[in-house]
């Protein structure tokens, strides 16, 4: 038990490990798939982000080029006019005026003459500008000592750059605090000397909108820095025109990444870079603006790109983990359940197994009757026991001792294990007590005393106990409240039983014994009430009539048993077994008691022949195993009847015969005495009066009286010229 | 069948040995006939070794008893076996004789 238990547990453990392993494998596969999908998606998303950023950079660049282009064109297209007008300085005002009027993008334009180009005129710089919110341009002069334009960057750089120069953006303090930039080109006179610088001022107020509105992702932002790193557009407005990218970078804790970024941007390179700032990763896409040399960057926080898929991924991961957790819990629960179930199952199996063993033990107590079991020659036995449950309270037993068959059939009140235990006790008691006691009533008394003494659970036993003397067929029996067995002779009759109480009811109860004689070919059928009270589905009982119907046809004991079992099974059908069912057949077949003994004796009418009659009866008695008293009685009756014939049937001196036909079976001894003498009916003689005293008592007439007294039936008839006297003695 | 008769004073003992059937009774009746003349004393019928008795035997017993009674004597039947006692019982003879074991 324990080994298999361990093996089972190991099996379950293995099963559990396999189950968990499967979960782990499933989890790993699932997660790997998710990861691959995630990485692939990430790559896709990054590509998508790059594409978006780059296209936005390109678009913005084009728009800026468009505007700056307009400003450059406005300047270039008027270079030749300005050359022309150098000769007539006053006309220069016309030029600037025209540039501003014709180009809406240009908010101001100046022609700044190289100092002292005109003799007597140190500084000359006609300037036209448009006031904020006003369309009408105003023309004035920049030739102001305080401003000193020759020192201004736009002027100086223009002299150096023949193709023109875009100034660093600046805040125009005079013109409404606007962010401005100026494109300036040198103008040469006909002799080839640089005479002036022509400028166009460009308002950059649109730049903030243009760049600020570039929204690749909701939380992405764009920046624009100038050639020198000055912030032109930036989400942090305080930085604009106040700080350079270098300054901002230097203030950071980890400057390496930002440094390389700012360097690249200031160099006018395009590309992208990943930066980590305060634990957040961002991707920066940057590209230089042609002409102005600015650099624009789009900053996309990593979360913006992957946020959705991260969220989705996290959700998926969470759901998967949840699912796996549930799976683990389910497997755990299943295993736990399985273990529990197995435990219960094991318990049940063990109990079933034990019951099975109990059943086997119980059945082993019952003597097995089979073809190869040695039985007594003079008896055939068959018996069966069918418990309603694994074990039952019915039992039977039999065994041979001293030419006697000891047998019993019993039914313990109740069913199942308690009944089985009492049954085991009863059966042991029967064996013990009957081993030294041949009287059924004493056997039952002893059993009753013992059982009553120990009967704390008030269980009682109905028991029929019989002791069959094999040679004589004499059956002594005692019935303690059991169903009376049936005697199967030519007909079926219940064995007369006295109403004794069942065993175990009360100590010291008297049990009355009874006696009968079984003859050759008689059978006893013993049964428990499980037979007559077998119920079918309609709750009808099998009953005694059905039982007797089966018994009516005489068969061998085994066939009888099988026929009865089949009849009950057919009757009960699918209805559950209601009670233990036990049956036992005993077939008495003593060869000595076989058939009828028939003998004939013929005597002459000579009184001396009587001794032959004595011998004749003696032989018969010996042959039929008749006891001495009976033999003597028969002898006496016969002698009286025969003497009568010898003395009186034939006339004096005439010879004659007297025939005696004896026919003895187990039940009766029948004698017919016949003679051919004169008709005489001895039965007609008056009955002797045995109450008379000595004086009155006749000395004769006792012969026929004794015949009548001894025999149970005496009949006379005259037949075929013969006197026939039939005498029958019941032997039972 | 063997019959031994011994006499001591007024007591006559008849020892019956064997089967007292009809043929034997005819013999025994003759043997015991003289006892009737002398029946005033006590006659003991010793049946200790009597195996069997038929009605003719009973007739002898009764005849002796009648004679004895007429002469004021007594008949004692002694030592009957079970079978003979049964016959005595059936026939009411137990009341007619003095029975001794």
Mean pLDDT (10-residue bins), chain A, 732 residues: 56 73 81 83 86 88 88 88 87 88 86 88 87 78 83 88 88 72 90 90 84 83 88 85 84 76 86 82 88 88 79 81 85 81 82 79 71 62 82 84 88 81 86 88 90 79 91 89 89 88 87 87 90 87 89 82 90 83 87 71 89 89 86 92 90 89 87 92 85 84 89 91 92 82
Enter the pTM of the model. Answer: 0.42
**Residue range B2-100 in CATH 3.30.750.24:** yes
Chain B residues with beta carbon closer than 8 angstroms to that of A695? 66, 69
Verify whether the Cβ–Cβ distance A699 to B66 is below 8 Å.
yes
Delimiting residues of CATH 3.30.450.20 domain(s) in chain A: 77-203
Kindly report the CATH number that applies to the domain delimited by A366-592. Answer: 3.60.40.10
Residue B63 predicted with pLDDT over 50: yes
Query: What is the per-residue pLDDT for A2?
Result: 45
Question: What does A86-154 look like in DSSP terms, one character per residue?
Answer: TTSGGGHHHHHHHHHHH-TTEEEEEEEEPTTSBTTBS-B-EEEEE-TT--SEEEEE---TTT-GGGSHH
Structure tokens at A655: 């010879």
Mutate to test the interface with A, among B18, B23, B75 (most CBs of A within 10 A): B23
Whose CA is closest to B54, among B19, B86, B92, B30? Answer: B19
Verify whether the Cβ–Cβ distance A611 to B21 is below 8 Å.
yes
Map out the domains of chain B as residue ranges: 2-100
Class of domain A595-730 (CATH, top level): alpha beta
The residue ranking higher by pLDDT, A371 or B15, is B15
Residue of chain B whose Cα is closest to the Cα of A629 = B83
- Nearest by CB to residue B54, choosing from A639, A699, A700, is A639
Residues in chain A: 732
Left if phi > 0, otherwise alpha if psi is -120 to 50, otherwise beta: which for A717? Answer: beta
What's the rounded mean pLDDT across residues B86-100? 90
- Nearest by CB to residue A694, choosing from B22, B54, B66, is B66
Class of domain A77-203 (CATH, top level): alpha beta
Query: What is the per-residue pLDDT for A3?
Result: 46
Verify whether the Cβ–Cβ distance A709 to B82 is below 8 Å.
no
Verify whether the Cβ–Cβ distance B21 to A639 is below 8 Å.
yes
Q: Does A370 touch chain B (CB under 8 A)?
A: no
Confidence check on the interface: ipTM exceeds 0.85, yes or no: yes
For chain B, which residues lie within 8 Å of any Cβ of chain A, measuring from their own Cβ? 19, 21-23, 26, 52-56, 58-59, 62-63, 65-66, 69, 82-83, 86-87, 90-92, 96
- Alpha-carbon gap: B44 to the closest alpha carbon of chain A (Å): 17
Tell me how far CA of residue B3 lies from CA of A325, A437, A639, B28, B82, in angstroms. 122, 46, 21, 7, 21
Delimiting residues of CATH 3.30.565.10 domain(s) in chain A: 595-730
Query: What is the per-residue pLDDT for A9?
Result: 66
Structure tokens at B97: 């004789």
Chain A residues with beta carbon closer than 8 angstroms to that of B33? none
Query: What is the per-residue pLDDT for A7?
Result: 60
- Alpha-carbon gap, residue A175 to B62, rounded angstroms: 189
> Strand B74-78 and strand B42-53: pairing?
parallel
Q: Does A492 touch chain B (CB under 8 A)?
A: no
Residue of chain A whose Cα is closest to the Cα of B83 = A629
């Amino acid at each position: 038990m324990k080994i298999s238990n361990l093996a089972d547990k190991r099996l379950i453990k293995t099963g559990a490990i396999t189950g968990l392993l499967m979960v782990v494998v499933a989890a790993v596969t699932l997660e790997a798939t998710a990861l691959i999908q995630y990485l692939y998606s990430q790559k896709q998303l990054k590509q998508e982000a790059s594409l978006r950023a780059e296209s936005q950079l390109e678009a913005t660049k084009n728009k800026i080029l468009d505007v700056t282009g307009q400003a450059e064109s406005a300047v270039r297209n008027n270079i030749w006019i300005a050359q022309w007008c150098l000769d007539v300085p006053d006309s220069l005002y016309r030029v600037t005026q025209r540039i501003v009027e014709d180009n809406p993008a240009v908010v101001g334009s100046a022609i700044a003459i190289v100092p002292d180009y005109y003799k007597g005129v140190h500084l000359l710089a006609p300037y036209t500008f448009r006031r904020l919110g006003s369309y009408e341009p105003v023309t004035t002069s920049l030739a102001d000592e305080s401003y000193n334009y020759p020192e201004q960057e736009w002027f100086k750089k223009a002299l150096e750059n023949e193709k023109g120069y875009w100034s660093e953006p600046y805040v125009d303090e005079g013109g409404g605090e606007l962010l401005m930039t100026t494109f300036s080109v040198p103008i040469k006179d006909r002799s080839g000397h640089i005479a002036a610088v022509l400028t166009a001022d460009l308002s950059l107020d649109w730049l903030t909108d243009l760049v600020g509105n570039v929204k690749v992702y909701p939380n992405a932002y764009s920046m624009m820095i100038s050639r020198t790193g000055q912030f032109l557009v930036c989400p942090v407005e305080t930085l604009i025109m106040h700080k350079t990218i270098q300054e901002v970078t230097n203030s950071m804790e980890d400057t390496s990444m930002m440094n390389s970024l700012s360097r690249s941007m200031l160099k006018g390179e395009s590309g992208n870079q990943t930066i980590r700032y305060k634990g957040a990763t961002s991707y920066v896409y940057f590209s230089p603006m042609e002409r102005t040399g600015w650099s624009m960057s789009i900053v996309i926080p990593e979360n913006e790109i992957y946020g959705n898929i991260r969220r989705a991924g996290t959700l998926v991961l969470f759901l998967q983990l949840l699912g796996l957790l549930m799976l683990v819990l389910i497997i755990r629960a299943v295993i736990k359940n399985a273990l529990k179930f197995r435990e219960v199952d094991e318990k049940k199996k063990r109990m079933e197994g034990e019951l099975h063993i109990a059943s086997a033990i119980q059945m082993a107590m019952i003597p097995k009757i089979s073809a190869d079991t040695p039985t007594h020659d003079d008896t055939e036995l068959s018996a069966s026991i069918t418990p309603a449950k694994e074990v039952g309270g019915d039992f039977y037993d039999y065994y041979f001792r001293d030419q006697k068959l000891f047998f019993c059939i019993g039914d313990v009140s109740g069913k199942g294990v308690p009944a089985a235990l009492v049954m085991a006790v009863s059966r042991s008691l029967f064996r013990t007590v009957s081993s030294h006691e041949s009287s059924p009533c004493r056997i039952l008394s002893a059993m009753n005393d013992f059982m009553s003494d120990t009967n704390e659970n008030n269980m009682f036993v109905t028991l029929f106990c019989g002791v069959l003397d094999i040679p004589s067929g004499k059956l002594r029996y005692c019935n303690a409240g059991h169903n009376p067995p049936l005697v199967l002779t030519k007909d079926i009759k219940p064995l007369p039983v006295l109403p004794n109480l069942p065993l175990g009811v009360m100590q010291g109860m008297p049990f009355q014994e009874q006696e009968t004689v079984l003859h050759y070919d008689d059978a006893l059928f013993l049964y428990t009430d499980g037979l007559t009270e077998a119920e079918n589905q309609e709750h009808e009982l099998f009953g005694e009539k059905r039982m007797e119907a089966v018994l009516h046809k005489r068969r061998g004991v085994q066939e009888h048993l099988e026929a009865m079992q089949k009849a009950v099974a057919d009757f009960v059908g699918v209805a559950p077994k209601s009670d233990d069912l036990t049956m036992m057949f005993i077939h008495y077949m003593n060869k000595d008691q076989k058939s009828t003994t028939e003998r004939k004796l013929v005597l002459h009418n000579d009184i001396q022949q009587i001794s032959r009659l004595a011998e004749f009866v003696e032989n018969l008695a010996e042959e039929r195993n008749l006891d001495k008293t009976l033999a003597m009685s028969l002898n006496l009756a016969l002698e009286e009847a025969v003497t009568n014939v010898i003395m009186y049937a034939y006339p004096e001196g005439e010879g004659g015969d007297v025939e005696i036909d004896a026919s003895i079976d187990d039940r009766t001894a029948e004698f017919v005495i016949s003679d051919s003498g004169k008709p005489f009916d001895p039965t007609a003689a008056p009955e002797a009066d045995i109450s008379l005293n000595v004086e009155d008592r006749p000395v004769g007439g006792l012969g026929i009286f004794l015949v009548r007294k001894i025999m149970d039936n005496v009949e006379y008839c005259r037949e075929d010229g013969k006197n026939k006297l039939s005498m029958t003695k019941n032997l039972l | 069948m063997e019959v031994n008769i011994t006499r001591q004073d007024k007591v006559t003992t008849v020892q019956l040995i064997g089967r007292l059937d009809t043929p034997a009774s005819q013999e025994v009746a003759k043997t015991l006939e003289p006892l009737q003349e002398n029946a005033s004393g006590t006659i003991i019928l010793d049946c200790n070794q009597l195996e069997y008795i038929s009605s003719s035997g009973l007739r002898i017993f009764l005849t002796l008893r009648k004679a004895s009674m007429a002469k004021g004597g007594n008949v004692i039947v002694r030592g009957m076996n079970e079978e003979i006692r049964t016959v005595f019982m059936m026939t009411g003879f137990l009341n007619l004789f003095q029975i001794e074991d």
